[in-house]
Amino acid sequence: MSTDSRLYSVVFNKCPRCHQGNFFVSNSAFSKNFDKMHEHCPHCGENFMPEPGFYWASMFVSYAFYTIYTLLTFFIVVQWLQIDVNYYLIGLMPTLILLTPYFFRMARRTWLTLFIAPKPQHKTEMPTQG
């Protein structure tokens, strides 16, 4: 995957602007502080909190991820592998719960990436306070 693409920053927890600094503090979606974000990019200083309540709409992105996952696994498990739909539904619930932190992080990165154009060669200094 090209490091210049928007998908790179979404998948690999990187800043949507410079693709260097981390978006979330932790690189793992399954750590204690999976939801802790940097307020600014540690590399280029891009603001990750454009306005209060900015990430409310990422819930809809998260919903889209759940829907895509559910449809995809349904067609693989029930249609292709011919496994009973009741077993599929029993297995679906725990996987959706386990994937919640992963989809949460992916949704936030996707939502911010929609509004920030990537500039991977962007080499700016951290903004100075004052």
Instruction: Find the helix or strand (DSSP H, E) in which 61 lies.
Output: helix 58-74
Beta bridge partners, 22, equal 14
Which of these, 27, 29, 33, lies nearest to 13 by C-alpha position? 27
The yes or no reply on residue 118 touching Zn ion (CB under 5 A) is: no
Q: Please check whether residue 45 is in contact with residue 126, taking contact to mean a CB–CB distance below 8 angstroms.
A: yes
Taking the complex as a whole, the smallest distance from the CB of residue 28 to Zn ion amounts, in Å, to 20
Structure tokens at 72: 């995809």
Nearer to Zn ion, 43 or 108 (CB): 43
The yes or no reply on residue 15 touching Zn ion (CB under 5 A) is: yes
Give the contact letters, 32-71, x = binds to Zn ion (CB under 5 A), - = no.
Answer: ---------x-xx-x-------------------------
The yes or no reply on residue 17 touching Zn ion (CB under 5 A) is: yes
Nearer to Zn ion, 48 or 55 (CB): 48
Q: How far apart are CA 83 and CA 113, in angstroms?
A: 38
Q: Which parts of this chain interact with Zn ion (CB under 5 A)? A: 15, 17-18, 21, 41, 43-44, 46
